[in-house]
Chains A and B, each alone.
Chain A
Amino acid sequence: MTIASSASTKTGRLALSERIPLVPVVRALVRRSLVAITRTPSALAPILLMPIFFMISFSGSYSAITRIPGFPTDNIYNWFVPYACVQGAAFSGIGVGFTTARDLENGFFDRLRLAPSGRPALIIGPLGISVIRASFPFVTVLPIGFLLGADFPGFGGLFMLAMVSAMVSGISGLWALGVVFRLQSQRSLGLVQIGIFSTLFLSIGQVPLSVMDGWLHGAARVNPTTNLLRMARQGFLEGVTWEMTWPGLIAGIAMLSLLGLFAITGFRKVEK
């Protein structure tokens, strides 16, 4: 027995040399999730079909709002297609919450915790799954949006949308993990959904700030999601600019940091 392993036996923690490296564990967790998706494709319905439905119904119902003075485009699809992609990315976090809550309820998460891997893998793994899931609506909503009449935003615009989708999936995934780690039940997913829906609703998801009135204007102005949506939409509206990009980056990084802390402190509650 090595010195390191005897020390680990005494403290109950594994020495760094004995732990499985982070990357293979994260990769295994991501692969497990992808296999689960192929076995139950219905789980993909919310992140694939809902954004497509929202894109079509919002664009159809609210097509006339582009005639309101101050609306930044006369093509309703340019407004709602990137929003639908971001929505799909946000829903991917809910899926990760479901998986983790189920693992917590059936005891599989305890077995993961007992495995000789670093704790960060149990947060980074689900986060990776969330980001991969976010790419599904990105590749389904966009082609349909272009077919319906959305303008091509250029590769810069696409990159911005992809970056925001990745950040939003991470944000929603961390939010879901934080809640699920604390409440350790699939029922807590209702709270996760309410948080995500409210954040999206109380932003410039449906109309720009210049068209809003009343309390929603105040709420959307301070909601960091507004900056993320501006960053995501810029290629579809007036072209990619640094002025529209940096507030989104800062909002994304700040939300990831805060919700990362929320998830980590939640994970510590599971450990206790």
Chain B
Amino acid sequence: MTGAVTSTIPHEGTRSGDLRAFLAMSRRAVVGFFRQPSNWVVGTAFPLLITAVSASAFSRSTSLQGFPDTDSFLQFLMAGTILQGTLFGSITASTDLALDIEKGFMDRLLASPVSRTVILISRLAGAAAFGAGLTVFYIVVFRLFGAKVEGGLGGMAVMVVLSTVMAIGVGGYGAAVGLRTGSAEAVGNSFPLIFILLFISSAFFPVETMSGTYQAMAQANPVSFVIDASRYQVLEGFSLAEAATGFAVAIGFAAIMIALALVQLRRRLEDHS
């Protein structure tokens, strides 16, 4: 019996053990996230509400000088709405890690023979799954209301990958805050920062129509690069070249945030040892 139990325990340092642990904990993260409707219902519905209002309020702005070549404000909004929903949901998903800390489950995980990196990365699976699923869902909803992705399946694939990587990045940021503070409330309170990043970007209106300092800030905002890459697939057509900058920014952002979370995890372990 002991042998049977021992054989199911993944051993730190072995690839198969880490992979099994990663898959098991990723599954737990995804199931745990979707089991609580409060985790994803608001994050899914709220951006759609804002889009419905904005599409009606700003429909005449498509004729403004500097606006991209489209007659549909809804189509213009698609990329911004997808990223907005993804970021909101990812922050919610990352509160689960803080909850694990609050409940003491994290301590048990850390005491187990599993790689620390695997523990952290697998926790981001909930955010990644949400980002990918939400992008597909929003593309379908927008299509039902007449806004389509000109880039076809290739363009949609680019959008899914971009939002998944961004979800991992924001999840990493939430994980870093959670590991630093050990409080789910603190992770939730970091939500306004995401809101600010989104608003001072090209998410809801083209940067070309803005002016002054605000325009400069929106242009320099990394979120704008990701949204513009995604928006190109919606408005113009499939282009990997146009998506490249967005990919580079999203992957860079995710890498920095995961590194930040790992630093916080190491710090937490040192504090507790």
Contact = CB atoms under 8 A, between A and B. Distances in A.
Nearest to B38: A190
Contacts of A57: 196, 199-200
Contacts of A202: 53
B56 interface: yes
Contact of A60 (B49, B50, B200): B200
Interface in B221-262: none
Interface in B176-216: 192, 195-196, 199-200, 204-205, 209-211, 214-215
Contacts of B209: 63-64
A266 B59 CA distance: 41
A1 interface: no
B152 interface: no
A13 B195 CA distance: 51
A271 interface: no
A216 B57 contact: yes
Interface in A167-226: 190, 198, 201-202, 206-207, 211-217
Give chain B's interface residue range (CB within 8 Å of chain A).
Answer: 20 to 34
A213 B205 contact: no
A271 to B, nearest CB: 30
Given A61-B210, A63-B211, A63-B214, A68 B60 contact: yes
B66 A207 contact: no
Contacts of B16: none
Given A60-B200, A207-B58, A214-B56, A67 B64 contact: yes
B70 interface: no
A207 to B, nearest CB: 5
B199 A201 contact: no
Nearest to B73: A213
A64 B205 CA distance: 9
Contact of A65 (B42, B61, B192): B61
Give chain A's interface residue range (CB within 8 Å of chain B).
Answer: 20 to 34
A49 B192 CA distance: 10
Query: Which of B50, B65, B192 is packed against the most chain A CB atoms within 10 Å?
Result: B192
Chain A, interface SS category: helix
B204 A61 contact: yes
Contacts of B210: 60-61, 63-64
A62 interface: yes
A186 to B, nearest CB: 12
Given A61-B199, A61-B204, A198-B49, A213 B60 contact: yes
Given A60-B200, A60-B210, A65 B58 contact: yes
A216 B61 contact: no
Given A62-B205, A213-B56, A217-B56, A201 B49 contact: yes
B59 A214 contact: yes
A53 interface: yes
Contacts of B57: 206-207, 211-212, 216
B56 A64 contact: no
A68 B61 contact: yes
B50 to A, nearest CB: 7
A202 B52 CA distance: 10
Nearest to B208: A64
A67 B66 CA distance: 12
Interface of A: 49-50, 53, 56-57, 59-65, 67-68, 190, 198, 201-202, 206-207, 211-217
Given A50-B192, A57-B196, A68-B61, 5 more contacts: A62-B205, A206-B54, A206-B57, A212-B59, A214-B55
Interface of B: 42, 49-50, 52-61, 63-66, 192, 195-196, 199-200, 204-205, 209-211, 214-215, 218
Which 6 residue pairs are nearest across A and B when measured between Cβ atoms? A60-B214, A216-B56, A64-B209, A57-B199, A214-B56, A213-B59
7 contacts: A49-B192, A56-B214, A61-B204, A64-B61, A65-B64, A206-B54, A216-B57
